[in-house]
A = this chain, B = another copy of it.
Amino acid sequence: MEKDISQAVIRRMPRYYRYLGELLEEGVERISSNDLSSRMKVTASQIRQDLNNFGGFGQQGYGYNVQFLYDEIGKILGLNQTHNIIVIGAGNLGQAITNYVKFEKFGFLITALFDINPKLKGQMVRDIPIYMMDELEEYCAKNRVDIAALTLPKERADATAKYLVQLGIHAIWNFAHVDLDLDSQVVVENVHLSDSLMQLSYNIVKNSD
């Protein structure tokens, strides 16, 4: 696989995957880049360029085989393997994410939540247990953990992330409103909800000008 594919391209891949999944549900077996283009509201040339980063997949005069392209993009995105996720911070957001069953469809399995609030000890979200933070080290020694979702206050996020890395977790899904200062080998994906609201607010102001 090429190493220098821009994050902008990668950011678009889940959207291709989603549209191809919808086409499969509708029983569509093949699609031209023009039809995919008008459906996704991006140019056909952008689609061809994006997919060429991974070797193409299209055939002149045939278009794309939907199932094949769906599977290939799934592999590119690492969805042909399961990922175990633990959620650090079992407050509202942590519980909301844990209840979001749709992630399982793509192979992301939430296996445990952790918190420091003793009232939550032993409680379950769906059938997933909440443990205390002092049980985390033992849990990580006994279970495979691929991703830690950080849904805790920003004040504790960076120290907690560093501790998770010490315990061997190299991928962080960060919801705390702070940039984590971690080793570059650690993969971090941020979901900054406040930033998203501010961008919305900017566009509201711009639109009303």
Contacts and interface: CB of A to CB of B under 8 A. Distances in A.
Interface string A197-209: 1111111111101
Interface stretch (A8-16, A28-36, A157-165): A8-16
Q: What number of copies of this chain does the assembly contain?
A: 2
A179 B106 CA distance: 19
A92 B103 contact: no
A102 interface: yes
A137 interface: no
B106 A197 contact: yes
A91 B95 CA distance: 11
Nearest to A185: B207
A192 B187 CA distance: 19
A199 B189 contact: yes
A46 interface: no
Contacts of A209: 1, 3
Interface string A19-35: 00000000000000000
A121 interface: no
A178 B39 CA distance: 13
A48 interface: no
B197 A108 contact: yes
A179 B147 CA distance: 27
A198 B14 contact: yes
Contacts of A127: none
In the complex, which of the residues A83, A103, A147, A203 has the most CB atoms of chain B within 10 Å of its own CB atom? A203
9 contacts: A14-B199, A18-B177, A41-B179, A79-B201, A96-B96, A102-B177, A103-B193, A103-B197, A189-B200
Interface of A: 1, 3, 7, 10-11, 13-15, 17-18, 41, 76-79, 83, 91-93, 95-97, 99-100, 102-103, 106, 108, 146-147, 170-171, 173, 177-179, 185, 187, 189, 191-207, 209
Q: Which 8 A-B pairs have the closest CB atoms?
A: A14-B195, A78-B205, A96-B96, A189-B200, A92-B96, A78-B201, A14-B198, A187-B203
